[in-house]
Amino acid sequence: MSTTITNASVYDPGANITAEATATVTARTFLAISGSRTSGGNIAVAPATAAGRICGVAGNDAASGDLVTLIRGNSRVVKVTAGGSIAANAEVEVGANAKAVTKSSGVAVGYAITGASSGAVAEISLY
């Protein structure tokens, strides 16, 4: 007997996910997967490292062990704190403290849909 799989997806593109912080997380910063699922069954996340990959953006502040909303999705526009001046349409990567900075040599994680100054909220279209 064969089994038909009607829906093999785990998450839908653009859908927020409840994750568990494995380090202190600040809202509006980039997050990365930090390990396997936690004992509660949530995805483990921590602030993304400079120039590295991301899994989304923190929707709220969270202490280690707390739940955090992971805002994610290709082509989704999200608000991220800028770690330097970013011009409109510039590609961005993760900078210090998991903030958005103009791409130099790291992994491109999206592009700015409008300019932002350092410390301001940048609107980023995620890749």
The answer to the question of residue 2 being in a domain is: no
- pTM, two decimals, is 0.92
For residue 74, what are its two tokens? 């290709």
3-class state of residue 8 by DSSP: coil
* Domain count along the chain: 2
Using alpha carbons, select from 112, 59, 60 the residue that is nearest to residue 83: 112
The tens digit of pLDDT for each residue in 27-56 reads 999 999 999 999 999 999 999 999 999 999
* pLDDT for the residue numbered 24: 98
3-class state of residue 97 by DSSP: helix
**Residue 104 in this model has a pLDDT that exceeds 80:** yes
The answer to the question of residue 93 being in a domain is: yes
CA distance to 7, 37, 54, 82, 112, per residue, from 28 (Å)? 32, 22, 13, 9, 14
The answer to the question of residue 9 being in a domain is: no
**Residue 10 in this model has a pLDDT that exceeds 80:** no
Q: Are residues 23 and 64 in the same domain?
A: yes
* pLDDT for the residue numbered 62: 98
3-class state of residue 18 by DSSP: strand
Name the residue range of residue 113's domain.
77-126
The answer to the question of residue 3 being in a domain is: no
The tens digit of pLDDT for each residue in 51-80 reads 999 999 999 999 999 999 999 999 999 999
**Residue 1 in this model has a pLDDT that exceeds 80:** no
